[in-house]
Structure 1
């Protein structure tokens, strides 16, 4: 099933992240450091937010406020007074660029680039510019992901290009004691809590896995993760844009396409899909976002594209049953894994190259 392109918004530089504010519209972050507010007709207004590329964009609330991370710090923006500048700004002791960002439970968390031998995670309460917490001993390369647990305010996840995903129990004051779980996977593109007790990991080599969150109150041995391996062949793509609630987004530069697959019950159903052509041409798709009946895509062609489909995977994970029919019903993650393993090419562990611009960066996941 294909979607219909409604508007193309030319933004002037790489479109990297998308957020939505109920009272204002769609917010797009760019590699030139600007935030762009786009309405439903494709009109936009620009705010110069950072001195360089915005590496992460997150909602602080659903109506008015977003946060951004870049080389010159983390900033919080209230679009009711956007022309007055950020309402809050947070820095780190070394003035190192921030790469990852999340907000939950009234807390803002950010992960930094590597400086020296360690990279750092900072946690702030928005009411105070001084950090509540700094974690600086657990990663030894760029921190590409920071996520708070959705229901447990004491759990924080981080992922890094050092190959590790860490889960911290923030009730412990010492970092060594707070390190609740360490997942040794691969250079992390993204990771998050799938549910109260499950974690996904997606690497820059396009490998994917689902892990159990450790229950240290139990003597049971931690279950082995479900390893999907390199998903480019079974998901018919050249790279994974990201894992979203209810769907995964996959891109193919050579085919100039973007494909969404339903992701329900921790299974990806490749028999049901929504396609976007020509997507963003031969350029990398950076983000995908659903709002009402429209789908927004951001790419390295400097465009935000607005699409519509009468039947599409909804953000809550529900899928319209009329248009998206499946030919089989798999009953377990292990069966799903066997399907992926069957299609996996032997020895296919090297990442396919992706079209990039030499004056920007050589990896799709580092927007600087």
Structure 2
């Protein structure tokens, strides 16, 4: 294992969780935290604190997504979506999407569309698409795609009409949103048989699914592999990696695999492991993993991101801290 060292950090507060952390296309860091704040951080100097900070109005803030170079979206329990211009330091618009709490969101700048997924509310879990080109206008509403909370949404990397959804009902579904009839919308349904925590694309036709109890599988959704069965079912990742939880799966930009971020609180360790494809055989490779010893103490790491050009990793945790990591001297 190759280890990194903490070089800088910012602490939001002892009773604050950092819920998510993203790298912006312009090289900044943006976070959301349990004190209901959206914060922009300078990765070169975390200890100075936020460059700017915004108080959100979502009840409990749950979701952060990028929408452009300097634009991000937030959402939460009151069903509202906020669109923020980080460069201008202001909220562009806030609009109500649903009476139900929002559990997930995906943004497609190409089509100026924001997709939100709701918790189960009045026996219904919905996916709602909003066009935000001028004033926000609802462009589609789907109410029968899942039977429980919709926990994750993501757009296809190259086809803006294809939307992936995952739910606590155990299903991951691929939808063609150019189809008007909801009954014909779903292209393929994948069943992990466990509540979905994360799901996304590893390539044009490859999908991964991660459950809340760390079950992990990869699927091929191409027409040639239309069965819906996993091409690789890893089972519970805790058994093969020694971790206690998996924070996220972050696909690599070149389509060669992904980074699996997993932690063990009792060891105060967080590890970045490589998900690789060797001639069609997928494996989680711990041999060349990157360790972050000390991590966020005994608290869970909620999110991580990379600055490969400067060999830096940033993490955010339930200890209220954002940390910078780099190779030691």
TM-score normalized by the length of structure 2: 0.87
Q: Distance in 2 between matches of 1:124 and 1:303?
A: 33
- 8 Å Cα contact 2:189/2:228 also seen in 1: no
Deviations 1:172-192 (A, max 9, x none): 111111011111111000001
Q: Which residue of 1 aligns with 2:197?
A: 189
Equivalent residue for 2:38, pick from 25, 28, 35 = 35
Please list the CA deviations of residues 51-95 of structure 1 after superposition, one character each: whole Å capped at 9, or x if unmatched: 43321211111x31111121231111001222x4x21223224x2
What displacement does 1:247 show? 1.0
1:276 aligns with 2:292: yes
Give the alignment partner of residue 230 of structure 1, picking from 233, 236, 241.
Answer: 236
Contact 1:33 1:48 in 2 (8 A): yes
Distance change >3 Å, CA 60–CA 253, structure 1 → 2: same
In the alignment, the residues of structure 2 paired with residue 5 and residue 24 of structure 1 have an alpha-carbon distance, to the nearest angstrom, of 19
Q: 1:22, CA displacement in angstroms?
A: 5.0
Which structure has more strand as a fraction of its residues?
2
What are the Cα deviations for residues 338-365 of structure 1, in whole angstroms up to 9, with x where unaligned? Answer: xxxxxxxxxxxxxxxxxxxxxxxxxxxx
| CA shift for structure 1 position 310 | 6.9
Match of 2:9 in 1: 8
Alpha-carbon distance change, 138 to 31 in structure 1, aligned in 2, over 3 angstroms: same
Pair 1:24–1:198, CA change in 2 (3 A):
closer
The list of structure 1 runs, each at least 4 consecutive aligned residues, that deviate by more than 4 angstroms after superposition, is none
SS in structure 2 of the partner of residue 138 of structure 1: strand
Deviation at 1:270, TM superposition (A): 1.4
* Equivalent residue number for residue 270 of structure 2: 258
Aligned to 1:21: 24
Could you say which residue in structure 1 is the equivalent of 2:314?
Answer: 296
- CA-based RMSD: 1.8
Pair 1:118-2:119 in alignment: no
Question: Is 1:307 aligned with 2:328?
Answer: no
Matched, 1:239 2:245: yes
Gaps of 5+ in 1: 312-368
**CA 1:210/1:91 → structure 2, altered by over 3 Å: closer, same or farther?**
same
> 2:170 is matched with which residue?
163
Alignment of 1:70-81 (within 5 A): 70-72=76-78, 73-81=80-88
Alignment partner of 1:131: what SS? strand
Give how far 1:223 is off: 6.4
Distance 1:133 1:151 in 2: 21
Residue 256 of structure 2 is aligned to residue 248 of structure 1: no
Cα pair distance change 1:133/1:54, threshold 3 Å:
same
Give 1:309 shift.
2.3
1:301 positional shift: 0.5
Partner of 1:211: 219
* Deviates most, 133-142 or 43-52: 43-52
Distance apart, 1:267 and its partner CA = 3.2
- CA drift of 1:242 comes to 0.7
Identify the residue that residue 97 of structure 2 maps to in structure 1: 92
The question of whether the paired residues in 2 share the 8 Å contact of 1:32 and 1:52 is answered with: no
SS in 2 for 1:269: strand
- Matched residue SS, 1:254: helix
> Secondary structure, in 3 states, of the residue corresponding to 2:184?
helix
Q: Secondary structure, in 3 states, of the residue corresponding to 1:177?
A: helix
Change (3 A) 1:175 1:283: same
The 1:50–1:194 alpha-carbon spacing in structure 2 relative to 1, beyond 3 Å, is same
Q: Secondary structure at the match of 2:145?
A: coil
